[in-house]
A and B are shown apart, each in its own frame.
Chain A
Amino acid sequence: GQQVMQIPQYQHVQEGEDFTTYCNSSTTLSNIQWYKQRPGGHPVFLIQLVKSGEVKKQKRLTFQFGEAKKNSSLHITATQTTDVGTYFCAGQNSGGSNYKLTFGKGTLLTVNP
């Protein structure tokens, strides 16, 4: 079945440093979504990427979807303490009737003020 691998599992940074998490799928995706889960909270949708090579920005966050639609990344510039949480990618299969989103295991980001 489809697998979505996410690295690193943990990342600790000093406030102001940059952060990147990477997501790789074993199959071609129709779209990839990113979610953020604060400690003790529930996942909250950040963005969806659909097109090959797509790049989207949300303030200090930059999201990329690979040309082959099998990998993606989230980059945070100049991290702040409010960025703390676990970032999950979730990929949806291309074609067929499989509507399942497959989540990566997430990257836990901690920020030292």
Chain B
Amino acid sequence: AQSVAQPEDQVNVAEGNPLTVKCTYSVSGNPYLFWYVQYPNRGLQFLLKYITGDNLVKGSYGFEAEFNKSQTSFHLKKPSALVSDSALYFCAVGYTGTASKLTFGTGTRLQVTL
């Protein structure tokens, strides 16, 4: 079975400061890892993915994530937060051979203030 943990329900950060949203995963086999963002009353929007290769993955809107195999983590980061980044962020995991079935975390609400 595969699972994802997002330990923080909410992260608060001031605009211009760096942000980190945490994610840890559990999966048998090599993981495929994703970050999605959800705005109110909208579906999920793809931000970035890790499949293989460099542990630092760059994605949309200046976001990046670092894959750490030994810690089974895939934390989302951004060097300088914007108020418009305020939204709900979901980490998800799949793995080879599962034909695309994704397991999502419970989400972390990011609040960026002026």
State yes or no: do A and B come from one complex.
no
Interfacial residues, chain A to chain B (CB-CB below 8 A): none
